[in-house]
Amino acid sequence: MTDVPKLHDNEPHQGDMAQRLNWLRAAVLGANDGIVSVAAIVVGVAGVTTATGPILTAGLAGLIGGGISMALGEYVSVSSQSDSQRALIDKERRELLEQPEEELAELAAIYEAKGMSSATAWKVAEELTDNNALEAHLSAELNIDQNDVVSPWHAAYASAIAFTIGGILPLLAILLPPQGWRVPVTFIAVLAALALTGWASAVIGGSSRTKASVRVVIGGAIALVATFAIGSLLDASGVV
């Protein structure tokens, strides 16, 4: 009796992979944006004044407004993607009902183009069509799983929550230390957190952890230096 081969680790065709990657991506990006956006705001205000009230007010405004903005942006973006996927699924379903023979020939041609003999390609196409025609065509033609359409709500929730969690870090870092330590502590905490989100994004995307971390750390450092410098210049000039 031949043993059935087991799936290797990290097999990509299991469960709701697109859904999980969708909300993971939104969460990492949301956290990164929350850290940078709120940090830039509070550091910029700290360049003008050391008073807790203005810093807290600006930080909370950025935190709440940014979280809502991120959620709306993700919802609109992913809604467009899911609408396109559903439209393609409906189109394929309609074509299978209206012209099944042409669709069968098309499926066979796809497998023949991948290297199968004509006879084998037709046999595979016929068996897949008998089993689940729509699933077979969506997979072969469009690389879509009808049960794995991305959810805009998942992306919106993940992005808003992650932005809020990320934004709380610089807000606490600027408020909790003594006044003389606020900006340095915020810089250190923010850059360390950005290194972590860069690492997490690389893990999800399968890219270099070091490069991803360095990129976001450099970008975050530029944002912090720029906003603090602007705040300090405004304070020195007497504009505010």
Q: What is the pLDDT of residues 122-132, one digit of tens each?
A: 888 888 888 88
Q: What pTM does this model have?
A: 0.71
Q: Mean pLDDT, to the nearest integer, of 81-92?
A: 86
pLDDT of residue 180: 86
Q: How far is CA 236 from CA 55, 122, 222, in A?
A: 18, 78, 21
pLDDT of residue 140: 81
Nearest to 36 by CA among 75, 62, 71: 62
**pLDDT averaged over the chain?**
84
Report helix, strand or coil for 143.
coil
pLDDT at 3 exceeding the cut of 70: no
Separation of alpha carbons 68 and 160, rounded Å:
6
Residue keyed to tokens 């796809």: 110
Separation of alpha carbons 109 and 113, rounded Å:
6
Confidence of residue 16 (pLDDT cuts 50, 70, 90): low
Confidence of residue 68 (pLDDT cuts 50, 70, 90): very high
pLDDT at 50 exceeding the cut of 80: yes
Q: What is the pLDDT of residues 117-155, one digit of tens each?
A: 888 988 888 888 888 888 888 888 777 777 767 778 887
Output 77 or 226, whichever has higher pLDDT: 226
Separation of alpha carbons 65 and 231, rounded Å:
21
Could you tell me the residue ranges of all domains in the chain? 17-91+151-237
Q: Mean pLDDT, to the nearest integer, of 45-59?
A: 92
CA dihedral 138→144→147→148, nearest 10 degrees, is: 180
Report helix, strand or coil for 165.
helix
pLDDT of residue 222: 95
